[in-house]
A and B are shown apart, each in its own frame.
Chain A
Amino acid sequence: DAMVIQNPRYQVTQFGKPVTLSCSQTLNHNVMYWYQQKSSQAPKLLFHYYDKDFNNEADTPDNFQSRRPNTSFCFLDIRSPGLGDAAMYLCATSRVGWAGGYTFGSGTRLTVV
């Protein structure tokens, strides 16, 4: 089945140690999104790619970067994780012009120690 896959499911990283979360898709969707969801809060959009065009949300900290080397893969890099970056990170995809459909991965739950 076509899907959005996030690895790993759980990630523990040390305070200040760079960490990368990955997302892959087999849907051939041209838009990929990264959301951050802290405990008891709504998912918050960090950035998205429309093909190779990167779109950063205005309030996304500089500590968060992203790479999309090809259509299928998208990475979230946290350069110096702080305790406040502990959250669930959700990847989603969509296809522009397709009736507003979004497909979410299962998420990566990040713990910072």
Chain B
Amino acid sequence: AQKVTQAQTEISVVEKEDVTLDCVYETRDTTYYLFWYKQPPSGELVFLIRRNSFDEQNEISGRYSWNFQKSTSSFNFTITASQVVDSAVYFCALSEEGGKLIFGQGTELSVKP
């Protein structure tokens, strides 16, 4: 069965600090996809990244970076030099090929000025 665990319920940082959001997943499939979404207070889910299980190359997009390690079943998300606008709930999610999207419980990030 699929499962996504985000052990950090809430994180609070001061602006310009770096912050890492952890995500650990479980799946029996060899082909699967991992996602990160941002959910601001307005409620919509903003897509950040999708990785497939065959691509372990880490990715950087501006202040965002992702570390995918199959050996530890982890897909962690780092925000460098955090800003107040980064305050939101962040969800890690998993889908097997052709399957449903399963979410972790989310991490609420608060960035204080």
Contact = CB atoms under 8 A, between A and B. Distances in A.
B43 A102 contact: no
B101 A102 contact: yes
Contacts of A97: 98
Interface of B: 32-33, 35, 37, 42-45, 47, 50, 52, 91, 95, 97-98, 100-106, 108
B44 A104 contact: yes
A92 to B, nearest CB: 7
B43 A107 contact: yes
A90 B45 contact: yes
Interface string A86-108: 00101010001101111011110
A68 interface: no
A106 B40 CA distance: 11
Given A42-B91, A43-B45, A88-B43, A96 B105 contact: no
Contact of B52 (A100, A102, A106): A100
Which of A33, A43, A90, A100 counts the most chain B CB atoms within 10 A?
A: A100
A42 B103 contact: yes
A102 B103 CA distance: 13
Contacts of B106: 40-42
A33 B93 CA distance: 15
Contacts of A109: 43
A97 B42 CA distance: 31
